[in-house]
Every structure is written in structure tokens, then in C-alpha cells.
Amino acid sequence: MQTRTKGILFASIAALMWGVLAIALKVALNYLPPETLAWFRFFVAFIILGLYYLIFQRKGLKILIKPPLLSLVAALFLGLNYFGFIYGLSFTSPGSAQIFIQTGPLLLAIIGILLFKEKIGLRKISGFIIVSLGFGLFYSEQIRTAIGSMPGYNKGVTWIIIGGISWAIFASLQKILVKNYKAGQLNLVIFGLNAILFLPLVDFSPFAIMSPGQWILIIALGINTLIAYGSLALALKYIDANKISVILTLNPIITFGAMILLESLAVSWIQTEKFSTLALLGAFVVVTGALLVIYSRKKNKTSP
């Protein structure tokens, strides 16, 4: 498999994981507070990844003894991203949260061009412009509706934007780190440190009254974390950050598609969202622009 194809595949897996994440988190917030839920996701991801290294690659655990300083900084920003997103989500809807968390991929694209000196041709520029226009169509009506119907909406949006900015900084540091360290080892440090940092904020009392279905959901959220950030680290190794950022802008489209499906099934466990023809047209434009960037004919220099 070609290097670029690998990068696109891993970035797409991350986008899919995060596309359904907001919905699952919104449901889980009904019985766990944001801090506890964030801790549990890091804890489960660390335990699973740690067991893998303990059984199959024990030497890889040495990174926990003397982790790279930059990985510790990256971990702090990812922790802030987790808290900002999930706390903001408690005041907004899954769709609205996915709208504003796109601050992260957008900022990552800018960092990729300015810091990593990634080249961007006319076709990619056109793709970015089309994506921006599509988001304008897609989000305009959704935002107007949400502002008037949700108390604390602006507070939630502020925290989500903080989470998005923190994620972009984390991803930029991760792109530097994957040049010299294995993605799994880096995530071992990042998940482990955040599991420790969030521990004092955890409220363990809700765990005692959770149903088997609720346990399955929150464990799945931990597995989602492991898969998504493992895929992101590998994508950052293989392709440019600006290309990854465009693939990740498809997250909201996946989220809204899932919400449309849930609405058609008339589920009662989450409040669904309705979409206008203009919003659906915007979604189509976003996908078109993303494809222009992803399948640019211009060959970029990537790490093998």
C-alpha cells in the first residue's frame, strides 16, 4: 500500500471514530459527569494499549520510565481538548459541538502550511475554499436554531473552541514526535498521563448504579479513543497535516448523517436534529471540496 493511501486510510478511520463520538458522549453524559467520562476514556485506552505492550512488545514500555518532554506537553493539550469538548457538549448538541470543534482541523491546516512548510497548490486552495463555502451553507441555519433553544449555549461553544485549539496544538506536537517515536508508545504516555491528571476529579459513585448497557457504552468510548488517536498518529506520519485536516472536516457530516438515521428510527434516548435543504446542499459541497484536497495530483513529500 502506498504511503499516501495509508495516510488517507488512517485519517479516514479517525474521522469515522470522531464522527460518531459526539453522539455517544452526549448519551453518556446522562449518567457520568464530564470529568469522570474524560478520565474513563483515557484509562480504558491506556489499559488496553498497556496490556498489548506488556504481552507483545514489553520493551516498548520503557518509554514510560523516561518519556519525551514534548509528549508530556502534547498530553496536557489533549487533556484540555477532552475536557473542553465534553464540557462544552453538555451545553450544546452533538451537531453544534461538531461545528465548532472544526476550529482544530482548520488551525492544524494553517500550522501545517506555516510551521511544517507543506506545499499547497491551486487545486488544494480551491478545495479549501469550497469546503469553507459548504460549511457556511451547512451550519448557518443550525447555529441560529441552537442559539435560541439551548441555555448555556455560548458557554458551551467557548469551551468547545478551546478544545479545538488545544487539539490542533496536540496534533502539531504529535506530528513532530512520530518522526522519532512509535505512535503506540507516544499514545501510551499521553493516555497514561491524562488518566493520572484527571483522577482527582473523578466521581466514582455513578459507576455503582450503571446498567450493563451503560458499561458497554463507556468502554466503547475508551476503545474509540484508542483507535482514533492511534489512527491519527499514523496518519500524521504518512501525509501532510493540511490534508488530514480536510479529511477530519468530514466529522460533522458523519455526525449529522448518523443523527438523520436516528431520527428516521424515532429513537428516544437522544434528541435528534432536523436539517434543511440548504444544510444538505452544504454537506454535499463540503464533501466535494474535501475530495479536491485529498486527491490532489500534486505529489507531496511524506515520511515513509
What is the Cα–Cα distance from 237 to 179, expressed in whole angstroms? 7
Q: What is residue 304's predicted lDDT score, i.e. its pLDDT?
A: 36
- DSSP 8-class letter at 82: H
pLDDT over threshold 70, residue 70: yes
Residue the block writes with cell 478551546: 162
* Amino acid found at 281: L
Instruction: Note whether 235 and 12 are within 8 A (CB).
Output: no
Q: Which residues contact 92 (CB under 8 A, 6 or more apart)?
A: 146, 150, 153, 156, 157, 160
Which of 100-104, 128-132, 285-289 shows the lowest per-residue confidence on average (mean pLDDT)?
Answer: 285-289
Q: Decide: residue 25, CB within 10 A, 0-12 exposed, 13-18 middle, 19+ buried.
A: buried
Report the mean per-residue pLDDT for the chain: 87
Q: What is residue 208's predicted lDDT score, i.e. its pLDDT?
A: 96
- DSSP 8-class letter at 8: H
pLDDT over threshold 50, residue 214: yes
Give the CA radius of gyration of the chain. Answer: 19
Burial per residue of 246-285, b for 16 or more beta-carbon CB atoms within 10 angstroms, e otherwise: bbbbbbbbbbbebbeebeeeeeeebebbebeeebeebbeb
What is the Cα–Cα distance from 71 to 116, expressed in whole angstroms? 18
pTM of the model: 0.85
Cell of residue 244, nine digits: 488530514
Average pLDDT over residues 234-246: 89
Confidence of residue 303 (pLDDT cuts 50, 70, 90): very low
What is the Cα–Cα distance from 105 to 166, expressed in whole angstroms? 11
Angle at 5 between CA 236 and CA 164, to 5 degrees: 35
* Segment holding 102, helix H or strand E: none
Q: What is residue 289's predicted lDDT score, i.e. its pLDDT?
A: 76
Instruction: Note whether 108 and 168 are within 8 A (CB).
Output: yes
Q: Decide: residue 50, CB within 10 A, 0-12 exposed, 13-18 middle, 19+ buried.
A: middle
Question: Each residue of 145-185: pLDDT tens digit?
Answer: 555 556 677 788 889 989 999 999 999 999 999 999 999 99
Q: What is residue 11's predicted lDDT score, i.e. its pLDDT?
A: 94
Q: What is residue 272's predicted lDDT score, i.e. its pLDDT?
A: 65
Residue the block writes with cell 435560541: 148
pLDDT over threshold 50, residue 301: no
Determine if residue 67 is left, alpha or beta; phi over 0 gives left, psi from -120 to 50 gives alpha, anything else beta: beta
